[in-house]
Amino acid sequence: MNIRLAESKDINQLIRLRWDFTVEYDESKKNSSFDGFENECRTFLENALINNQWFIWVAEKEGKIVSHIYIELIHKVPRPGRVTHPFAYMTNVYTIPEFRNKGIGSEILSLINKWVKENKFEFVIVWPSDESINYYKKNDYVHCSEPMEYFPS
């Protein structure tokens, strides 16, 4: 298993994985236009891979991406008297079904946690599904107070 940061050569696989991830958990999305989604996702990924705001970690086996985790860096407003480091927002954590429960996701997460420490990011935040809470707990993540939200109408 090779774990690395995604490259532009991975875009087609990442698009397909995002589609598969979405329809696995919400079958009503199967009726959406793949072409429209593909164009939007391709533009997002092309920008994400060059702007140093998004870091997409992938696990591949024989050239096939079998798992990924997306990290977005959120830069904070500087404060006097201290160096301000960004925090990381983790999202789009997915492993294809036949590779689940083999430790691949935990292996990626372990490398990400090391990368976060080395780069002195302040913390990592993730909104887990109910099914994934134990995955994060076994990888040293803890529950925090719920954030507040605003939904414009």
Q: Calculate ∠ Cα 88-1-138, nearest 5°.
A: 50
On whether the pTM is more than 0.75, the answer is yes
List strands edge to edge, sheet with 2-5: 2-5, 54-61, 64-74, 87-95, 124-125
Please say whether the beta carbons of 125 and 89 come within 8 A.
yes
Burial code (b: 16+ CB inside 10 Å, e: under 16) for 91-114 equals ebbbbbeebeeeebbeebbebbee
Tell me, yes or no, whether 43 lies in a domain.
yes
pLDDT tens digits for range 110-140: 999 999 999 999 999 998 888 888 888 888 8
- pLDDT at position 129 is 84
What is the average pLDDT value for the chain, to the nearest integer? 91
Q: What is the mean pLDDT of residues 47-75?
A: 95
Q: What is the mean pLDDT of residues 52-75?
A: 95
- pLDDT at position 43 is 96
Question: Three-state DSSP class for 31?
Answer: helix
Tell me, yes or no, whether 149 lies in a domain.
no
Cα separation, 104 vs 111, whole angstroms: 11
Please say whether the beta carbons of 86 and 78 come within 8 A.
no
Q: What is the CATH number of the domain that holds 17?
A: 3.40.630.30
Number of domains in the chain: 1
Tell me, yes or no, whether 105 lies in a domain.
yes
Tell me, yes or no, whether 44 lies in a domain.
yes
Cα separation, 124 vs 108, whole angstroms: 14
Task: Mean pLDDT check: name the lowest of 19-33, 42-56, 79-93, 104-118.
Answer: 19-33
**DSSP H helix total and E strand total for the chain:** 4, 5
pLDDT above 90 for 8 = yes
Tell me, yes or no, whether 152 lies in a domain.
no
Could you list the residue range(s) of the whole structural domain that residue 102 is in?
2-137
